[in-house]
Structure formats: C-alpha cells, structure tokens
Amino acid sequence: MSTTFQLDTSTSRANPTPAPMKRLTIPAVRQRKKDGVTEQPIVMLTAYTARQAQLLDPHCDLLLVGDSLGQVIYGLPSSVPVTLDMMIAHGAAVVRGSYHSAVVVDMPFGTYEASPEQAFASASRVLKETGCAAIKLEGGEAMAETVAFLTRRGIPVMGHVGLTPQAVNVLGGYNARGRSEAEAAKIVGDAKALAEAGAFAVVVEGVVEPIAVAITQAIPCPTIGIGASAQCDGQVLVIDDMIGMFERVPRFVKIYENVGDVIERAAIAYAEEVRARTFPGVEQTYQPK
C-alpha cells in the first residue's frame, strides 16, 4: 500500500497518512510511449471516493474521476446531468485518498463546449479546487482548438473519442462506433487532431477493434482503451462494473469479483441477527467496569 494509517481516538477511525512516495506525473505518463511503443501498458481505473482511491492507488498509474459517477453514485440516467460541483467534490476526495497515481477529472457536459475560454474557466477551477493533475474532455476535431488552448495555458488534457457518453442523445445510444468506413475514418481523424493539439493521452471507447489499433499506431501519445483493443497503450474500466456492483454491464467489461454479492450476503446476515436480537453482542457493547 502507498499509505499508512493512524488511529483517530476521537472517532475510532483509521485515517490515511502519506508514506514517502512521489506521485506519477503527466509527462511521465506521456513518455511511456516511445517511438510508437508502450512497453509497460498504462493502468487506469475510475475512482469516486477517498476510500476507493486508497485501495486502487498502489496498483494504478492513473485514477479517473469519471462523470460516470452520475450513474454509479447518483443513479442518474446518463452522465449528461452531472455538474461541475459534483466532479469537484469527488475529485478532491480521490486526490486526498491517493499518493501515487496521477488523478484525472472528467469535465461534465456543458462546461467546456461553448468556447476555449469557457473550458479554461471550468478546467482551472477543477485543478485549483481538487489538486488533480489533468482534466479529460470528450469530442474529436471539434475540440482540438480547445485542447490546444488549455495545454498552452498549463492544463494537461486527456482526449476521448469513439463512443462519447455525453453525446448519447446525438448518437442514439451506446452502440459500438466505427462500423462504417466513413465513421471509422472520422474517429481516427478525431484522435489525430487531439494528439496534434497537445493531448497527453486519448481514451478510445466502444469502437470496433481495427480502429483502436489504427489510432494507437497513428498517434504519438498513449491510447487508453475501453471496449477497444488490448493493443491500446493502456486500459480503463469503471470500478463498479469490474467488481460486480451491477447486474448488467457493457459487453467489454470483465467482472473480476462479485462484490455486490458479498455486500448483499452481509446485509442479509446483519438483518437476521438484528431481528433475532443476537446483534449487538457483548463484543459490540460497552459493559460496566
């Protein structure tokens, strides 16, 4: 682990304290890809809370505070209603809970599309109020000017092409992209435009595999795949999906553990003991001395 713990006697909670460790930087992530090759793939997972960050931090290069929190934390129908205040609150929590990974925060819908100036105002607030290392925004060639504007002003940007969830109303759903030649060419062009504008990495989501391979070969910065290809320079998944917190997950998700089942079994056992008056027991109560 990258943290040690001290007991807070007033609350009986173990609070993390940083162990000596240098946090991974965005330039170091970018430099993983040399001459078109990434020998050590980049590991990224989403995180939304300080405790999640503590658990994931030692094993990841990047922690993404995704706007997917709209669905997985708040039960919203999509990421579109997510606000900047939500992203900042969760972003700050993840930064507090991590000491190794570089933290990237999603820019929510409506906070960056209008103009580069709007994007800078939103992104600078995110960096100031969370302490994160970079922001991520969706969109291809149309956002290249904004990416260049931000990077020239000291804000590292991760791009996102292919299936872009914030555009679900335009796309008409979450189906894989790039099945037609025209759409495939556009997605590759979008990735190239973002890389040329200065993005340090590009998420490639929900595309047919040859497109992900073509993008990875075509751009100098790392690609982060999700529903793309193992040939990408790194991978990302939504943490709640991969640990089985939901009954239905996208096709591209591998469920590594069924934590949802563990939580349900614990709740069932707790409810049974409460109703049987066997909890709390002597070990969980304060007795006279």
Q: Which residues are annotated as a binding site for 3-methyl-2-oxobutanoate?
A: 67-68, 106, 136
Cite the annotated binding site by residue number. 67-68, 106, 136, 138
Tokens 């679900």 correspond to what residue? 168
Cα distance between residue 160 and residue 221, in whole Å: 13
Nearest by Cα to 77 from 11, 169, 139: 169
Write down the H helix ranges in 97-179.
Answer: 116-130, 144-152, 168-171
Exactly one of 113, 196, 205, 272 is catalytic; which is it?
205
Active site residue 205: yes
Please, are residues 104 and 158 in contact by the beta-carbon 8 Å criterion? Answer: yes
Cite the annotated binding site for Mg(2+) by residue number. 67, 106, 138
| Number of neighbouring beta carbons within 10 Å of residue 217 | 11
Long-range contacts of range 251-256, CB-CB < 8 Å, 24 or more positions apart? 251/227, 252/206, 252/226, 252/227, 252/228
Tokens 């929900």 correspond to what residue? 206
Task: Report the largest interatomic distance among the alpha carbons of the chain, rounded to a whole angstrom.
Answer: 78
Catalytic residue set = 205
